[in-house]
């Protein structure tokens, strides 16, 4: 199952979730109305007066039952909407609710630094911006989660116990597992699940509170006391109904997704012992993955069970998860494995990076990718992408990398990527920075340029992805000013190149999405036939950027048309003003359904791989296109 099939399945599961949620609400409304009938019967009972038959009692109290149903639905609906509204600020909100502490751009704690390096490497390999990073400092269990509506507002949180007890490779396996949830649409479903179930779980809380704080002194001898007792126990029963449905829904949604995320982590790291080792450590440590915080709402989002569950656990049994990633594992081995796991030494980050550099260099010599392998790795990148990411991250000069991570200097790191190689044009660009952003900003850009020089073409995209986490923390008015400066820098030489287009459009889109995550749609419902002209124009733009001469571009264009099932198209559409063409067609192509997007991206990759090589311009254009239609392209090299 590839990225596009995962997206399609997530949409179907969202519809199933809505159906089951409605079913749960109806069950709760029925239970509350039954409770109201019992209370009315008890309070209206007279010793010498015959009781009304059930049908007559129901008929006589229809207005009361209707009011109870409306009130119940209103409480559940308002509570769910309230919860969804509070989660609009993104995954960081969930992490902070559980006590998460944001990891700064240059952490002094070596464990936090290792965590940031691992997440940055996996982000670069996956082709998504680096998410916000949190540590649950008060939690000694081994656990983690990813939260958010989209990759643009995602956050990854890891417990202190995971940092201290897992080796670097095991931490890499856990983070790769969480990135699978980010890439496959699980996060959005999980956030919706939190909001939908909050109203149901609220009734469980009300039921428990009423029972805990009700006092039944002498009043319990009369009918009013009996009514209070019935209300208390009735609400508690309703609460348990809500809790039952909530846990059932979460278990049904999350169990299979955990298996898939484990499998993706194995493909990503190419090491079953990474994710398997983390799961084994959870098994051998007492209270392995349990958290002290209340995890009822977020249990379905965690890497491991947040607490002991006797019914409807959101995660498959540990032994089954281990067996799936390590077929040779036997449960009885845990006793003997425990001692060796606890003695395992943490590998040093520098050794890992050097090994990654050596292996990545070997991989680079193996030649270009084919279209099929690129498609297979969208949303599910493999170990080679991780090695390449480690190499690229290690190649970034320290000054520039630290500036990109910094909230204060991330804009200057991006300005550096836009500086022209011509000294005269570059001086004009630096003057633009001074006029629009101030002399201090210009001085910082000059300092970065003196210390590290201009970035290489293959370093510019990683710098953009590293900087996004810091940029989205800046206020909207500053970001508008920065985007205006980016536009002016791009136009300083009288033309717009591909990277300048990518930088301006992708930052604008991702910043908007990070502030409006609930309004983002990862896919639409349009078929490819409805966007045939737009698809042809996109293929033509990409073909002309990656091939010298019209005949070569035409050959690549026709290869893309064949992948779209259009046969041979004799002439390419006019794309002289390619920026205007892309601005007009990409919003329409973003509304394609997942299967249509898969076919389109397959055609795009056929275009860029047609001549057996990829140049930076077509690679950057492919990345920009995929990002703007919400397809996370894995790390590729020109």
Q: Which long-range contacts (CB under 8 A, 24 or more apart) does 335-342 make?
A: 337/280, 337/284, 338/284, 341/277, 341/280, 341/281, 341/284, 342/284
Token output for 433: 């920075």
Selected catalytic residue, list 120, 178, 258, 620? 178
Q: Are 129 and 465 in contact (CB under 8 A)?
A: yes
The closest alpha carbon to 553, from 567, 565, 579, 571, belongs to: 571
Taken in order 533, 539, 545, 550, is the CA torsion positive or negative? negative
The closest alpha carbon to 444, from 465, 419, 468, 420, belongs to: 419
| CA dist list (Å): 96 to 198, 243, 461, 465, 545 | 18, 24, 29, 23, 44
The closest alpha carbon to 537, from 561, 504, 568, 559, belongs to: 561
Token output for 356: 């990654």
**Three-state SS letters, 315-352:** CCCHHHHHHHHCCCCCHHHHHHHHHHHHHCCCCCHHHH
Token output for 296: 């009822």
- Concatenated DSSP letters for 508-568? HHHHHHHH-GGG--S---B-GGGGHHHHHHHHHHHHHHHSSSHHHHHHHHHHHHHHTT---
Taken in order 461, 465, 471, 472, is the CA torsion positive or negative? positive
Strands 155-159 and 132-136 come out as parallel
Name 35's Cβ contacts closer than 8 Å, sequence gap at least 6.
230, 231, 234, 235, 237, 238
What's the chain's length in residues? 638
The closest alpha carbon to 636, from 322, 418, 343, 384, belongs to: 384
Q: Are 167 and 276 in contact (CB under 8 A)?
A: no
The closest alpha carbon to 386, from 176, 114, 155, 609, belongs to: 176
178 an active-site residue? yes
Residue 589: Cβ within 10 Å count = 22
Q: Which SS3 state, helix, strand or coil, does residue 391 take? A: helix
Bridge partners (DSSP) of residue 5 are none
Bridge partners (DSSP) of residue 147 are 155
Name 51's Cβ contacts closer than 8 Å, sequence gap at least 6.
41, 45, 57
Q: Are 246 and 314 in contact (CB under 8 A)?
A: no
Q: Which SS3 state, helix, strand or coil, does residue 59 take? A: helix
Strands 100-102 and 144-147 come out as unpaired
Residue 629: Cβ within 10 Å count = 23
Token output for 424: 């005269």
The closest alpha carbon to 445, from 385, 473, 392, 403, belongs to: 403
Beta strands of 388-447 (E only): which ranges?
none
Known catalytic residues? Answer: 178
């Amino acid at each position: 199952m590839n990225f596009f099939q995962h997206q399609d399945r997530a949409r179907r599961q969202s519809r199933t979730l809505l159906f089951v949620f409605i079913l749960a609400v109806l069950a709760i409304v029925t239970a509350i109305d039954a409770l109201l009938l019992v209370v009315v019967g008890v309070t209206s009972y007279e010793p010498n007066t015959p009781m009304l038959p059930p049908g007559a009692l129901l008929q006589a109290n229809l207005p009361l039952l209707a009011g109870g149903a409306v009130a119940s639905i209103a409480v559940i609906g308002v509570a769910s909407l309230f919860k969804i509204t509070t989660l609009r600020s993104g995954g960081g909100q969930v992490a902070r609710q559980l006590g998460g502490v944001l990891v700064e751009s240059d952490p002094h704690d070596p464990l936090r630094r290792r965590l940031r390096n691992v997440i940055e490497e996996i982000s670069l390999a996956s082709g998504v911006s680096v998410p916000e990073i949190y540590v649950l400092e008060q939690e000694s269990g081994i656990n983690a989660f990813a939260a958010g509506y989209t990759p643009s507002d995602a956050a990854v949180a890891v417990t202190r116990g995971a940092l201290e007890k897992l080796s670097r490779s095991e931490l890499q396996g856990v983070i790769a597992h969480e990135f699978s949830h980010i890439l496959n649409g699980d996060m959005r479903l999980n956030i919706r699940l939190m909001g939908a179930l909050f109203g149901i779980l609220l009734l469980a809380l009300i039921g428990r509170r009423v029972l805990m704080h009700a006092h039944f002194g002498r009043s319990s001898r009369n009918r009013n006391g009996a009514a209070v007792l019935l209300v208390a126990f009735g609400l508690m029963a309703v609460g348990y109904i809500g809790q039952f449905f909530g846990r059932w829904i979460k278990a049904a949604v999350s169990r299979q997704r955990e298996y898939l995320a484990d499998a993706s982590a194995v493909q990503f790291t190419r090491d079953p012992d990474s994710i398997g080792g983390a799961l084994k450590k959870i098994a051998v440590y007492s209270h392995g993955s349990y958290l002290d915080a209340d995890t009822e709402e977020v249990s379905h989002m965690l890497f491991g069970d947040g607490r002991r569950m006797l019914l409807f656990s959101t995660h498959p049994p540990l032994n089954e998860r281990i067996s799936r990633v390590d077929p040779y594992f036997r449960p009885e081995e845990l006793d003997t494995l425990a001692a060796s796991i606890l003695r395992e030494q943490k590998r040093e980050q520098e050794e890992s990076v050097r090994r990654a550099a050596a292996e990545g260099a070997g991989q680079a010599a193996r030649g270009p990718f084919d279209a099929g392998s690129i498609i297979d790795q969208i949303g599910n990148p493999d170990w080679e992408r991780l090695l390449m990411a480690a190499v690229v991250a290690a190649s970034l000069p320290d000054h520039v990398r630290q500036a990109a991570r910094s909230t204060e200097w991330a804009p200057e790191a991006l300005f550096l990527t836009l500086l022209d190689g011509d000294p005269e044009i570059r001086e004009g660009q630096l003057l633009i920075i001074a006029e629009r952003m101030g002399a201090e900003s210009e001085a910082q850009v000059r300092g970065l340029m003196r210390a590290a020089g201009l970035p290489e073409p293959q370093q510019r995209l990683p710098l953009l992805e590293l900087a996004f986490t810091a940029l989205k923390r800046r206020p909207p008015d500053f970001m508008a000013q920065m985007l205006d400066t980016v536009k002016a820098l791009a136009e300083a030489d009288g033309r717009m190149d591909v990277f300048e287009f990518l930088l301006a459009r992708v930052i604008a889109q991702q910043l908007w999405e990070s502030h409006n995550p609930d309004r983002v749609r990862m896919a639409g419902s349009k078929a490819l036939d409805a966007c045939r002209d737009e698809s042809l124009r996109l293929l033509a733009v990409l073909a002309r950027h990656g091939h010298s001469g019209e005949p070569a571009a035409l050959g690549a264009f026709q290869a893309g048309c064949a992948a779209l099932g259009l046969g041979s198209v004799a002439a390419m559409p006019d794309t002289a003003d390619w920026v205007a063409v892309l601005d007009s067609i990409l919003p329409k192509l973003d509304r394609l359904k997942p299967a249509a997007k898969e076919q389109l991206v397959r055609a795009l990759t056929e275009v860029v791989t047609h001549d057996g090589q990829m140049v930076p311009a077509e690679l950057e254009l492919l990345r920009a296109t995929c990002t703007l239609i919400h397809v996370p392209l894995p790390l590729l090299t020109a």
